[in-house]
Amino acid sequence: MSISPTLPPDQHPVHAFLERISKEPQVDIRFDFEEQESWSAITEFDDNDNQTSVRYYGSDRYAWVKGAYDESDDFIEEMEWLSSEISALLPEGCRRLLEKVRDDEKGMRLAGHFLLKQKG
């Protein structure tokens, strides 16, 4: 399922999300799991408790996730697997940090600017 408009890979909303989050003084990358699947996530919450996340599931599988509460107060998530073209454009810092959190099964808090670090 696609929860974002069809755009060229470099214009996917995940890039603007990471650019915005990277300006935060502190960003949490959390580890989570459910049954047999685990992931790391960078999540932003708005004033209405809606969530937007980029998640890493291992094996170069990234997802763009939006969640919100419905009128019955049930939490509903919509998830879109990111294509390899979009995933390849994620900043190296973001990819490495998401991988580390998932591999270590331990979250971390760091300055947002580390998300946009590139190799070099």
Residues with Cβ within 8 Å of 5's Cβ and at least 6 positions away in sequence, in order, are none
Domain boundaries, the chain: 9-116
d(CA 37, CA 12): 25
CA distances from 9 to 4, 6, 43, 88, 112 (A): 11, 9, 21, 9, 23
Task: Please tell me the predicted confidence (pLDDT) of residue 1.
Answer: 47
For the chain, give the mean pLDDT.
Answer: 92
Task: Please tell me the predicted confidence (pLDDT) of residue 118.
Answer: 79
Q: Provide the whole-model pTM.
A: 0.89
Whether 18 shows a pLDDT value over 80: the answer reads yes
Question: Which residue from 22, 42, 35, 23 is spatially nearest to 107, judged by alpha carbons?
Answer: 42
pLDDT in tens, 25-68: 999 999 999 999 999 999 999 888 899 999 999 999 999 999 99
Whether 2 shows a pLDDT value over 70: the answer reads no
